Amino acid sequence: AQTVTQSQPEMSVQEAETVTLSCTYDTSENNYYLFWYKQPPSRQMILVIRQEAYKQQNATENRFSVNFQKAAKSFSLKISDSQLGDTAMYFCAFIPVSGTYKYIFGTGTRLKVLA
Amino acid sequence: DSGVTQTPKHLITATGQRVTLRCSPRSGDLSVYWYQQSLDQGLQFLIQYYNGEERAKGNILERFSAQQFPDLHSELNLSSLELGDSALYFCASSPPPGSPANEQFFGPGTRLTVL
Protein backbone atom coordinates (compact mmCIF):
# COMPACT_ATOMS: atom_id res chain seq x y z
CA ALA A 1 0.00 0.00 0.00
CA GLN A 2 1.13 3.52 -0.69
CA THR A 3 1.56 5.69 2.38
CA VAL A 4 2.75 9.17 3.29
CA THR A 5 4.19 9.82 6.73
CA GLN A 6 4.71 13.17 8.41
CA SER A 7 6.41 12.43 11.70
CA GLN A 8 6.28 15.94 13.16
CA PRO A 9 2.74 16.76 14.37
CA GLU A 10 3.75 20.25 15.49
CA MET A 11 6.69 22.58 15.00
CA SER A 12 7.52 26.16 15.78
CA VAL A 13 10.07 28.57 14.37
CA GLN A 14 11.10 32.13 15.07
CA GLU A 15 10.25 34.73 12.49
CA ALA A 16 13.04 35.09 9.87
CA GLU A 17 14.52 31.69 10.75
CA THR A 18 14.57 28.55 8.61
CA VAL A 19 12.54 25.45 9.31
CA THR A 20 12.36 22.03 7.65
CA LEU A 21 9.27 19.83 7.63
CA SER A 22 9.80 16.15 6.96
CA CYS A 23 7.82 13.76 4.80
CA THR A 24 8.50 10.18 3.84
CA TYR A 25 6.48 7.99 1.54
CA ASP A 26 6.27 4.40 0.53
CA THR A 27 5.57 3.23 -3.01
CA SER A 28 6.70 0.71 -5.55
CA GLU A 29 5.95 3.13 -8.38
CA ASN A 30 8.81 4.71 -10.28
CA ASN A 31 6.99 7.70 -11.66
CA TYR A 32 4.94 9.94 -9.43
CA TYR A 33 4.40 13.48 -8.20
CA LEU A 34 4.86 14.93 -4.74
CA PHE A 35 3.25 18.05 -3.33
CA TRP A 36 3.23 20.23 -0.28
CA TYR A 37 -0.05 21.94 0.55
CA LYS A 38 -0.55 24.66 3.12
CA GLN A 39 -3.74 25.13 5.12
CA PRO A 40 -3.77 28.45 7.00
CA PRO A 41 -6.35 29.25 9.69
CA SER A 42 -8.80 30.17 6.92
CA ARG A 43 -8.81 26.39 6.16
CA GLN A 44 -8.27 26.97 2.43
CA MET A 45 -5.94 24.37 0.89
CA ILE A 46 -3.14 26.06 -1.04
CA LEU A 47 -0.49 24.38 -3.15
CA VAL A 48 2.98 25.38 -1.98
CA ILE A 49 5.27 23.37 -4.21
CA ARG A 50 5.32 20.31 -6.46
CA GLN A 51 8.05 17.86 -7.48
CA GLU A 52 8.09 15.37 -10.33
CA ALA A 53 9.85 12.14 -9.40
CA TYR A 54 11.72 11.86 -12.68
CA LYS A 55 13.34 15.27 -12.13
CA GLN A 56 16.44 15.12 -9.98
CA GLN A 57 16.57 18.86 -9.44
CA ASN A 58 14.86 19.99 -6.27
CA ALA A 59 11.89 22.29 -6.79
CA THR A 60 11.95 25.82 -5.40
CA GLU A 61 9.28 28.50 -5.10
CA ASN A 62 10.59 31.72 -3.61
CA ARG A 63 11.25 31.00 0.09
CA PHE A 64 10.06 27.40 -0.22
CA SER A 65 12.28 24.59 -1.42
CA VAL A 66 12.29 20.82 -1.18
CA ASN A 67 14.93 18.20 -0.56
CA PHE A 68 13.82 15.26 -2.67
CA GLN A 69 15.68 12.03 -2.02
CA LYS A 70 14.10 9.42 -4.29
CA ALA A 71 16.10 6.44 -3.07
CA ALA A 72 15.30 7.26 0.53
CA LYS A 73 11.69 8.14 -0.38
CA SER A 74 12.00 11.41 1.43
CA PHE A 75 10.49 14.77 0.49
CA SER A 76 11.17 17.51 3.04
CA LEU A 77 10.04 21.13 2.80
CA LYS A 78 12.35 23.96 3.77
CA ILE A 79 10.90 27.36 4.55
CA SER A 80 13.48 30.13 4.61
CA ASP A 81 13.04 33.54 6.23
CA SER A 82 9.85 32.35 7.95
CA GLN A 83 7.03 34.85 8.11
CA LEU A 84 4.04 35.07 10.42
CA GLY A 85 1.83 34.29 7.42
CA ASP A 86 3.51 30.90 7.11
CA THR A 87 1.68 29.77 10.24
CA ALA A 88 -0.46 26.92 8.96
CA MET A 89 -0.96 23.20 8.73
CA TYR A 90 1.26 21.67 6.04
CA PHE A 91 0.31 18.49 4.22
CA CYS A 92 2.58 16.34 2.11
CA ALA A 93 0.86 14.48 -0.74
CA PHE A 94 1.78 11.86 -3.29
CA ILE A 95 0.21 10.62 -6.48
CA PRO A 96 1.44 7.93 -8.86
CA VAL A 97 1.28 8.70 -12.55
CA SER A 98 -0.44 5.41 -13.28
CA GLY A 99 -3.36 3.69 -11.60
CA THR A 100 -6.42 5.24 -10.06
CA TYR A 101 -4.88 8.67 -9.86
CA LYS A 102 -5.73 8.77 -6.17
CA TYR A 103 -3.87 11.27 -4.04
CA ILE A 104 -2.38 10.11 -0.75
CA PHE A 105 -2.05 12.76 1.97
CA GLY A 106 0.02 12.73 5.12
CA THR A 107 -1.51 13.59 8.49
CA GLY A 108 -0.05 17.09 8.47
CA THR A 109 2.43 19.18 10.45
CA ARG A 110 1.15 22.21 12.32
CA LEU A 111 3.70 25.01 11.98
CA LYS A 112 3.63 28.09 14.16
CA VAL A 113 5.84 31.05 13.34
CA LEU A 114 6.67 33.06 16.44
CA ALA A 115 7.18 36.83 16.45
CA ASP B 1 -9.23 31.53 -6.31
CA SER B 2 -8.68 27.90 -7.35
CA GLY B 3 -11.57 27.83 -9.81
CA VAL B 4 -13.35 25.10 -7.84
CA THR B 5 -16.64 26.22 -6.35
CA GLN B 6 -18.56 24.65 -3.51
CA THR B 7 -21.99 25.44 -2.20
CA PRO B 8 -23.17 26.11 0.37
CA LYS B 9 -20.32 27.62 2.41
CA HIS B 10 -22.00 26.79 5.69
CA LEU B 11 -24.73 24.34 6.59
CA ILE B 12 -26.35 23.84 9.97
CA THR B 13 -28.77 20.99 10.39
CA ALA B 14 -30.07 18.51 12.94
CA THR B 15 -29.27 14.88 13.61
CA GLY B 16 -31.14 12.47 11.39
CA GLN B 17 -31.44 14.93 8.53
CA ARG B 18 -30.10 14.68 4.98
CA VAL B 19 -28.03 17.28 3.15
CA THR B 20 -26.50 17.70 -0.28
CA LEU B 21 -23.19 19.41 -0.91
CA ARG B 22 -22.40 20.64 -4.39
CA CYS B 23 -19.12 21.07 -6.23
CA SER B 24 -18.20 22.50 -9.61
CA PRO B 25 -14.69 21.60 -10.79
CA ARG B 26 -12.32 23.85 -12.68
CA SER B 27 -13.02 24.18 -16.35
CA GLY B 28 -11.43 21.25 -18.17
CA ASP B 29 -10.88 19.10 -15.08
CA LEU B 30 -12.50 15.69 -15.31
CA SER B 31 -11.67 14.37 -11.84
CA VAL B 32 -13.51 15.34 -8.69
CA TYR B 33 -12.49 14.27 -5.21
CA TRP B 34 -14.33 14.59 -1.91
CA TYR B 35 -12.57 14.87 1.45
CA GLN B 36 -13.76 15.19 5.02
CA GLN B 37 -11.76 17.16 7.56
CA SER B 38 -12.86 17.12 11.18
CA LEU B 39 -11.60 19.81 13.53
CA ASP B 40 -7.79 19.82 13.74
CA GLN B 41 -7.58 16.58 11.80
CA GLY B 42 -6.05 15.58 8.51
CA LEU B 43 -7.86 15.05 5.25
CA GLN B 44 -9.97 11.92 5.03
CA PHE B 45 -10.42 10.84 1.43
CA LEU B 46 -14.01 9.89 0.71
CA ILE B 47 -14.45 9.25 -3.00
CA GLN B 48 -13.20 10.12 -6.46
CA TYR B 49 -15.03 10.49 -9.77
CA TYR B 50 -13.54 10.71 -13.21
CA ASN B 51 -15.69 11.88 -16.09
CA GLY B 52 -18.87 10.68 -14.45
CA GLU B 53 -17.62 7.34 -13.18
CA GLU B 54 -16.57 6.37 -9.70
CA ARG B 55 -12.80 5.82 -9.75
CA ALA B 56 -11.71 5.27 -6.16
CA LYS B 57 -13.36 4.94 -2.81
CA GLY B 58 -11.95 5.80 0.57
CA ASN B 59 -13.46 5.61 4.03
CA ILE B 60 -16.88 6.71 2.95
CA LEU B 61 -19.77 5.68 5.17
CA GLU B 62 -22.75 3.86 3.72
CA ARG B 63 -24.89 6.82 4.79
CA PHE B 64 -22.91 8.96 2.34
CA SER B 65 -23.17 8.82 -1.42
CA ALA B 66 -21.91 10.89 -4.31
CA GLN B 67 -22.25 11.26 -8.02
CA GLN B 68 -20.78 13.23 -10.87
CA PHE B 69 -23.13 14.56 -13.51
CA PRO B 70 -22.62 14.89 -17.29
CA ASP B 71 -21.70 18.56 -16.86
CA LEU B 72 -18.99 17.30 -14.43
CA HIS B 73 -20.36 18.94 -11.33
CA SER B 74 -20.59 16.62 -8.35
CA GLU B 75 -22.85 16.23 -5.36
CA LEU B 76 -22.13 14.58 -2.03
CA ASN B 77 -25.22 13.37 -0.19
CA LEU B 78 -25.06 12.82 3.55
CA SER B 79 -28.03 11.16 5.21
CA SER B 80 -29.09 10.14 8.72
CA LEU B 81 -26.67 12.74 9.99
CA GLU B 82 -24.92 12.26 13.30
CA LEU B 83 -23.07 14.73 15.51
CA GLY B 84 -19.77 13.21 14.40
CA ASP B 85 -20.45 14.16 10.80
CA SER B 86 -19.79 17.79 11.66
CA ALA B 87 -16.73 18.68 9.62
CA LEU B 88 -15.35 20.67 6.75
CA TYR B 89 -16.03 18.92 3.45
CA PHE B 90 -13.66 19.71 0.63
CA CYS B 91 -14.09 19.12 -3.03
CA ALA B 92 -11.03 19.12 -5.28
CA SER B 93 -10.52 18.71 -8.99
CA SER B 94 -7.51 17.79 -11.07
CA PRO B 95 -6.60 17.89 -14.75
CA PRO B 96 -6.72 14.73 -16.88
CA PRO B 97 -3.75 12.33 -16.56
CA GLY B 98 -0.87 13.41 -18.71
CA SER B 99 -1.59 17.10 -18.29
CA PRO B 100 1.34 19.34 -17.38
CA ALA B 101 -0.23 20.23 -14.05
CA ASN B 102 -1.10 17.33 -11.80
CA GLU B 103 -1.94 18.94 -8.52
CA GLN B 104 -5.37 19.00 -7.00
CA PHE B 105 -7.17 22.29 -6.85
CA PHE B 106 -9.30 22.64 -3.76
CA GLY B 107 -12.56 24.43 -3.30
CA PRO B 108 -13.16 26.61 -0.22
CA GLY B 109 -15.04 23.81 1.54
CA THR B 110 -18.49 23.44 3.04
CA ARG B 111 -18.62 23.64 6.81
CA LEU B 112 -21.29 21.27 8.08
CA THR B 113 -22.54 21.56 11.63
CA VAL B 114 -24.90 18.89 12.94
CA LEU B 115 -26.74 19.86 16.11
Q: Tell whether A90 is within 8 A of chain B (Cβ).
A: no
Other residues' Cβ atoms within 10 Å of the Cβ of residue B22: 15
What residues in B contact A107, CB-CB < 8 Å? 42
Suggest the residue from A91, A101, A109 to mutate for an interface test with chain B (most B CBs closer than 10 A): A101
pLDDT at A19 over 90: yes
- Closest residue in A to B106 (Cα–Cα): A45
Question: What integer is the mean pLDDT of A48-56?
Answer: 91
3-state secondary structure of B63: coil
Averaged pLDDT, A74-91: 97
Q: How confident is the model at residue A2 (pLDDT cuts 50, 70, 90)?
A: confident
pLDDT for B100 beyond 70: no
Rg (CA), chain A: 14
Separation CA A55–CA A52 (nearest Å): 6
Say how far apart CA A76 and CA A8 lie, in whole Å.
11
Strand boundaries in B29-97, DSSP class E: 31-37, 44-50, 53-57, 64-68, 74-78, 87-94
- The pLDDT of residue A72 is above 90: yes
- Report pLDDT for B39: 80
The answer to whether A105 faces chain B, any CB pair under 8 Å, is: yes
Q: How confident is the model at residue B10 (pLDDT cuts 50, 70, 90)?
A: very high
Check CB contact under 8 Å for A103 and B104.
yes
Q: What is the mean pLDDT of residues A52-73?
A: 94
Task: Select from A43, A101, A106 the Cβ nearest to the Cβ of B109.
Answer: A43
Among B36, B103, B112, the residue to mutate for chain A (most A Cβ within 10 A): B103
**DSSP code for A97:** S
CA separation, residue A110 to residues A29, B3, B59, B61, B87 (Å): 29, 26, 24, 28, 18
* Cα-Cα end-to-end distance for chain B: 31
Q: Out of A43-47, B45-49, B80-84, B97-101, which region has the weakest mean confidence (pLDDT)?
A: B97-101
User: What pLDDT score does A100 carry?
Assistant: 65
pLDDT average, residue stretch A80-92: 97
